[in-house]
Amino acid sequence: MKQLTIFVVVACVVALTACGPATVKIDDSYRAEIEAAWAEREAHLLADDGWLTLIGLFWLEPGVQTIGSAPDADIRLPDGTPPVAGALELTGEGMVVFSAEAGANVTVNGGPAATGLLRSDADGEPDIVRAGRISFYLISRGDRIGVRIKDPQATARQTFRGLEHFPIDPSRRITATLEPYAELKEVAIPTVIDTPTTMLAPGLLRFEVDGRPVSLEPYLSDPDETTLFIVFRDATSGESTYGAGRFLDAERVEGSDEVILDFNLAINPPCAFTPYATCPLPTPENYLDVAIKAGERYSNSSH
């Protein structure tokens, strides 16, 4: 009888183990930190000028293009905005001159609009033009200049059902080692608009996922940045996460070659929310053949 009892106890332990992984205990402060970051991320998406308000992207051709709600406007704005808000002229030097239509009540950076050059996002903060509730500004991508249009009443914003996440997993907060290159390397990163963008790679991040060694190449926009930007795909891409990959910001540990990769903070790119974004895509070096089941999930039901 004693042997039978021992057998039953052992069988029960094995059965319980096979039923699934044990519940992972998560430190309350860590849970609060991640949930606060998720809430801030969602608030940014839902802001009056967030990605969910984007309703259009028009690439300028050399010469003059009109912008407004009139049917014959070169760049159409929604009904309720001036029929002609003004005109945008792309010069041979790659500059854009904006001329507001008289009486259209158009502003630039909150002040009365006057004829003059508009700054794009390549110049830092772009000039914001407003016509009624609609705003637009210039973006520069390679040798192309586009007009990005936002509407706080955009359908995507009104129908957004919230972000989806994997359960918080402390094991997906990983310490990586940065193996620096001899010097910063310029990398041409593909984008969804087929116009590569150039960023700087400081080295290679090496780490392990479930005991498997992997690596990622992080990027900087300029040499003085301290936050590393990572674009990656993994075995969940196109299944439970966005097919084109996800983004992750990472911080170096001061005074060492260590970098903290918290995949619980991995996010979907803007292209997951709007067709009018110009997202960078992961290079082949940043395709992982392991599943990173942490951070933002993706399904059409939430967008």
Task: Kindly report, residue by residue over 98-145, the tens digit of the pLDDT.
Answer: 999 998 999 999 998 888 999 999 998 999 999 999 999 999 998 999
Residue 98 near residue 118, CB atoms below 8 Å: yes
The CA distances from residue 83 to 60, 72, 153, 192, 250, in Å, are: 19, 9, 19, 32, 46
**Sheet with 96-100, side-by-side order of all strands:** 75-76, 63-68, 86-90, 96-100, 116-117
SS3 call for 278: coil
Cα separation, 2 vs 65, whole angstroms: 90
Residue 162 contacts residue 144 (beta carbons within 8 Å): no
pLDDT of 250 strictly over 70: yes
State how beta strands 258-262 and 212-216 pair. unpaired
Predicted confidence (pLDDT) per residue in 204-218, tens digit: 999 999 999 999 999
pLDDT per position as a tens digit, 55-109 = 999 999 999 999 999 999 999 999 989 999 999 999 999 999 999 999 899 999 9
SS3 label, residue 285: helix
The domain limits of the chain are 28-47+161-302, 51-151
Residue 18 has pLDDT above 90, yes or no: no
Summarised one tens digit per residue, pLDDT across range 258-275 is 999 999 999 999 999 999
pLDDT digits (tens, 9 = 90+) for 96-108: 999 999 989 999 9
Asked whether 69 and 78 are in contact (CB, 8 A), the reply is yes
Count CB atoms within 10 A of the CB of residue 285: 12
CATH number for 51-151 (one of 3.40.50.970, 2.60.200.20, 3.30.1490.20, 1.20.1560.10): it is 2.60.200.20
pTM of the full structure: 0.86
Alpha helices in the chain (DSSP H): 2-18, 28-46, 155-159
pLDDT at 238 over 80: yes
pLDDT score, position 303: 52
Q: State how far the Cα of 57 lies from the Cα of 271, in Å rounded to an integer.
A: 13
